[in-house]
C-alpha cells in the first residue's frame, strides 16, 4: 500500500475538501490521494537530482581520490606519535576513566565511506529513481561488491605491521555482518567476526557507537578513531539542528587531525539530517539594502 508523503497529505487535506462532490470530483480526489510523489532528491532528470554532483565527484574526480589518499597518508604521523606516548587515547570515555596506558594499542575505523566505497549503491538509486531503504541497502551489502576507499588499505596494513590492533565499528546491521567481513577480507583488510562490530539496538549496540567503543577500550588503548561522520569519533553528535551540531563539533575540534581522522562524505550523513528545510540551508550573504537616499535625490 502506498504511504502518502507529507506534501501529498497536506495537499489532500487542504485541497480535496474544496473539490465539488460530484463523480468527477470524487475520482479526482482519489487520483490525488494515490498518485506517487517523487522521494526527496529524486527527479526524472539525472542532472537535476541533488545527489548527482556529490556522487559523480566521489566516483570520478581526481580531487576526491587525492584527498582520501592524503588523509590516510597524513594519519601515519599522529599514529606513530600515539604509539610512542602511552598518555594518548582517542576515546573520550577512556580518557575520562583513565587506566589505559599499559593496554595494547588499537585503532577503530568506521566501514562505509571510510574503508568501504558504496558509491555504486548510491549510483543505482539515482539511475532507478529511488531513495535509500534498509531492504535495498542490505541487499547491496550482501553482494560484497564495495571497493576500498583510496589510501585506506595501505594505512591499515601499515598500522597492523606496527603492532596496532584493528577494529571496525559499523552501523551495518547484524544480518549483513558475515557479508561485511567477507567484503573487507576480499579487499585485503584484516577482518573477522571478532573485530567487525555491527549494530543491534535491541542488544544495546546503537547508532552512537559508544557501547561498542567501550568494548574495545576494555582491553585496548584506542590511539586513533577514523570515520566520515563526527558520530564515528565521539558522542553528542546525533542532533537535529545544524547550529547545535556545529557548536558541539567546535568544542571537540582540537582532536581532529591527531587522534581523530575525518574522511569526506558529501553524499549522506548526520549533517544532512540536521539541515534546515529547503532554501534555509543556503547562506548567500546577500548585500544589504541601501535605504539612505542618494546625493542626487
Superfamily for domain range 46-275: HAD superfamily/HAD-like (3.40.50.1000)
Q: Are 106 and 162 in contact (CB under 8 A)?
A: no
Predicted model pTM: 0.78
Predicted confidence (pLDDT) per residue in 191-227, tens digit: 999 999 999 989 989 888 999 999 999 999 999 999 9
Given a cut of 80, whether residue 104 has pLDDT beyond it is yes
Residue intervals in the chain for CATH 3.40.50.1000: 46-275
Among the listed ranges 131-135, 171-175, 208-212, 277-281, which one has the minimum average pLDDT value?
277-281
Residue with grid cell 537535529, as numbered in its chain? 240
Whether 148 has a pLDDT exceeding 90, the answer reads yes
Closest residue by Cα to residue 217 from 76, 104, 84: 104
Strands 165-173 and 221-227: unpaired
Rounded distance between C-alpha atoms, residue 170 and residue 92, angstroms: 18
Q: Determine the Cα–Cα distance for residues 275 and 282; give it in Å rounded to an integer.
A: 10
Give the pLDDT score at 257: 62
28-57 pLDDT, tens digit per residue, is: 444 434 344 344 444 456 667 788 999 999
B/e letters for 117-129, b = 16+ CB within 10 Å, e = fewer, are bbbebbbebbeee
pLDDT at 255 over 90: no
Query: Residue 113: is its pLDDT beyond 70?
Result: yes
Amino acid at each position: 500500500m502506498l504511504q502518502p508523503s507529507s506534501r501529498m497529505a497536506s495537499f489532500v487535506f487542504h485541497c480535496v475538501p474544496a473539490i465539488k462532490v460530484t463523480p468527477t470530483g470524487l475520482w479526482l480526489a482519489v487520483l490525488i490521494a494515490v498518485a506517487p510523489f517523487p522521494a526527496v532528491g529524486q527527479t526524472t532528470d539525472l542532472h537535476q537530482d541533488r545527489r548527482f554532483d556529490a556522487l559523480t565527484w566521489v566516483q570520478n574526480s581526481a580531487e576526491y581520490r587525492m584527498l582520501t589518499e592524503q588523509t590516510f597518508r597524513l594519519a601515519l604521523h599522529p599514529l606513530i606519535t600515539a604509539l610512542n606516548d602511552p598518555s594518548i587515547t582517542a576515546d573520550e570515555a577512556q580518557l575520562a576513566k583513565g587506566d589505559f596506558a599499559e593496554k595494547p594499542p588499537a585503532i577503530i575505523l568506521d566501514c562505509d565511506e571510510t574503508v568501504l566505497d558504496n558509491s555504486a549503491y548510491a549510483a543505482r538509486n539515482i539511475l532507478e529513481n529511488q531513495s535509500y531503504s534498509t531492504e535495498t541497502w542490505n541487499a547491496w551489502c550482501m553482494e560484497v561488491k564495495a571497493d576500498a576507499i583510496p589510501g585506506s588499505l595501505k594505512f591499515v596494513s601499515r598500522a597492523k605491521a606496527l603492532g596496532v590492533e584493528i577494529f571496525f565499528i559499523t552501523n551495518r546491521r547484524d544480518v549483513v555482518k558475515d557479508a561485511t567481513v567477507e567484503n573487507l577480507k576480499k579487499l585485503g583488510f584484516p577482518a573477522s567476526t571478532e573485530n567487525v562490530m555491527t549494530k543491534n539496538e535491541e542488544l544495546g549496540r546503537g547508532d552512537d557507537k559508544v557501547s561498542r567503543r567501550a568494548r574495545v577500550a576494555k582491553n585496548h588503548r584506542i590511539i586513533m578513531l577514523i570515520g566520515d561522520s563526527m558520530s564515528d569519533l565521539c558522542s553528542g553528535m546525533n542532533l537535529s539542528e545544524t547550529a547545535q551540531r556545529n557548536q558541539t563539533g567546535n568544542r571537540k575540534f582540537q582532536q581532529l587531525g591527531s587522534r581523530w581522522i575525518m574522511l569526506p562524505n558529501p553524499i549522506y550523513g548526520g549533517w544532512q539530517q540536521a539541515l534546515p528545510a529547503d532554501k534555509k540551508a543556503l547562506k548567500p550573504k546577500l548585500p544589504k539594502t541601501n535605504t539612505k537616499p542618494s546625493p542626487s535625490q
